[in-house]
Amino acid sequence: MSEPAQAVNGWKGGWYVVPYRVAFRDIDAFGHVNNAVYLTYFEIARTDLWLQVVGGTGWRDVGFIVARAEIDFRQQLAMEPIDICVRIGDMRNSSFDFLCEVRRDASREIAATMKVVVVFFDWKTNAKKPISDAMRQRVASMQGGGS
């Protein structure tokens, strides 16, 4: 049995969209998604996006480390279907931004936005490395030409 189209990860409108159903474990004592859980949501989506970009499958294919994360909470979420949307924003010499949104599946309302600054990283040398022109072009191509 195949998954419904809305339940498949993929590109939509310049965003990489990961459908997710909020689980009971995500809910805190106040009956809504705990603020710390949003970091996990964004990690799921940005990892899936990055593995698409590099064609990877394992943790060593995640060629970056997180340097900074900021979240703006707009609405509470309960046990409901959501879309975790992510794209790559500004790319500097050795760092770049992941821009993320969590959207309610039914109404498309934005529940939270996030910006994560990551540093391109070489696991063999344990040091940051510059972002190549080829990587920049691959990201732009996958996102539909823009960044």
Kind plus residue range of the DSSP H or E element containing 53: helix 37-54
- Across all residues in the chain, what is the average pLDDT? 91
Mean pLDDT of 81-108: 96
Q: Is 34 exposed, middle or buried (0-12, 13-18, 19+ CB in 10 A)?
A: middle
Domains of the chain, earliest start first: 18-142 (3.10.129.10)
pLDDT at 2: 42
Which pLDDT band holds residue 134 (cuts at 50, 70, 90)?
A: very high
Instruction: Convert the pLDDT of each residue in 108-125 to its tens digit.
Output: 999 999 999 999 999 899
Amino acid at 52: Q
Q: What is the pLDDT of residue 7?
A: 66
